[in-house]
A = this chain, B = another copy of it.
Amino acid sequence: MTEIQRPGALYQQVAAAIREAILSGEFEPGAPLPSEAQLIERYQVSRPTVRNAVAALRAEGLIEVHHGKGSFVRSDGQPAVTIERRVSHTRDGKFVMPSGSVWNEVEEPTPYRSRTTKGTGQLLSLGEEEALFTCDRLLTDAASGTRAMHRTLIPFEVARGTTLAEAPNTPPASAYEILTQAGHKLWWSETVRARMPLPDERAALQLPDATPVLHLSRVTHGTDDHPLILEELRVGADRAELAYRITADKEPARRTRA
């Protein structure tokens, strides 16, 4: 029996005690925690209090709970996949997506039509409700089983006159090629955000509790700096990390927007 005599709510004291026990090594990563009944006995509190404490550690991402099995210390291991965010091209002008070969498409992508929202419209320098070719891909990394969702958004105006209008499910690297052959000199900007997943994202990406998603938005710009394509990538932050390579610019830095 461990003594509980500290400030704060009782369940917080229990949570702190369990947290210390984990960090001190009493419960190693992957190992099961005592059952609720045992924690009740050990700390002499009621079941709701124990469950509250467990819920707190769960929201913290420190433990993982499985119905009918028990609670387990989550291993804080390195991410299984590092996603390099860069674009390369070979001498003959073909583009190569970084680590493209690692990802497999779970099912054949089905292109559809949609319209810009406030967020996507802003990134594409368009208003709301503008017509788009859209294509969703559910990707998996064969080695680690990591899942990711990829979406390609191409404005009608951009696709018009190219083969993109007939085949909106063209993979990004090929789309870059098509735009380059159309006379564009491409560059890309990417914004990274993290947030808690929506319920359907949690299901699709098979995410455990208390796992944020990394949300990338890549905008392909053409010669006149006009946005051409928007790609979105969503991946669970528990298995994946992003990597960027940076070199010094010649120009002075721009200001952050307020």
Contacts and interface: CB of A to CB of B under 8 A. Distances in A.
Interface of A: 55, 59-61, 78-90, 95-102, 119, 141, 143-144, 186-196, 198-199, 209-210, 212-214, 218, 237-238, 241-258
A256 B81 contact: yes
A249 B88 contact: yes
A86 B199 CA distance: 34
Contacts of A189: 243-246
B258 A144 contact: yes
Oligomer: number of copies = 2
Given A100-B253, A194-B194, A143 B258 contact: yes
B60 A199 contact: yes
A188 B247 contact: yes
B237 A194 contact: yes
Contacts of A95: 248
Contact of A253 (B61, B81, B97, B198): B97
Contacts of A98: 253-254, 256
A246 B176 CA distance: 13
A75 B186 CA distance: 35
